Amino acid sequence: MNAALTFAQALIWFWLEAVLITRFLRGDWRRFPLVFTYVVADFLVAAAETPTIWAITFRSTQAARSWGARVYERGEVFLEFFTFVLVISLISRACAGFRSRRLMQAACVAGAVLFAGISFQAHYDSRIVPGLWMAPWTRDLNLGASILDLALWTLLMEQRKKDQRLLLLSGALGIQFAGAAIGHSLRSMATHYHAWPSMLGGRW
């Protein structure tokens, strides 16, 4: 049942991503090059993770789990940092006419690096498997990204001429960050209590 649900979700996700990439290729990738690159990177990371997920689901050997964990960790870290870059670039785009644009960019980059670094220092532990410290770390990164997204949303709402597309892009990102933060929280709780939250963790 769990595998069937994961398969159905993955199927719909890949189909929607393919539709999105096709729409970008009609010309919008020139207006949103970084968003397009993020979509392609997200697609490629998910495509790389899929065989490992199936290997773990159907043949849960130690080698399969270790391979899956390595691919997942690298893909997750890459996408988390790409997400920060994407949100900061959207903020920069939203405050294009501001005098303090450079200052805002610098503050966002410095804040994001500081936040990610402090959270890494707080959770990293070389004695445990990476998945155990990565879950609370990625939870914090998603929380940081959602705070940046909130700033982006505020900037967009303050503009007289509302950019509906940017509002939809940032709103959707906000939903994803909130869901991912909840999911990673449940995952880290599950490792402590070995309980039902682990079942929900991957669904968010």
Partner 1 sequence: MLTSLFRVYLWVRAFRAPQPAGQASAPGVPSEPAR
Contacting positions for partner 1 (CB under 8 A): 6, 9-10, 12-13, 16-17, 19-20, 23-24, 26, 28, 39, 164-165, 168-169, 171-173, 175-176, 178-180, 183, 202-204
Residue closer to partner 1, measured from CB, 9 or 100 = 9
- Shortest distance, CB of residue 169 to partner 1, whole angstroms? 6
Q: Between 1 and 63, whose beta carbon lies closer to partner 1?
A: 1
Sequence-ordered list of residues with C-beta below 8 angstroms from that of 50, at least 6 positions apart, any chain? 10
CA angle, residues 74, 79, 81, in degrees to nearest 5: 100
Nearer Cβ to partner 1 (111/171)? 171
Report in angstroms how near the CB of residue 123 gets to partner 1 at its nearest: 22
- 110, 97 contact by CB (below 8 A): no
Contacts of 115 (CB under 8 A, 6+ apart): 140, 144
3-state SS, residue 59: coil
Q: How far is the CB of 155 from partner 1 (least distance, A)?
A: 17
Q: Which is nearer to partner 1, 122 or 157 (CB)?
A: 157
C-alpha closest to that of 94 among 172, 159, 175: 159
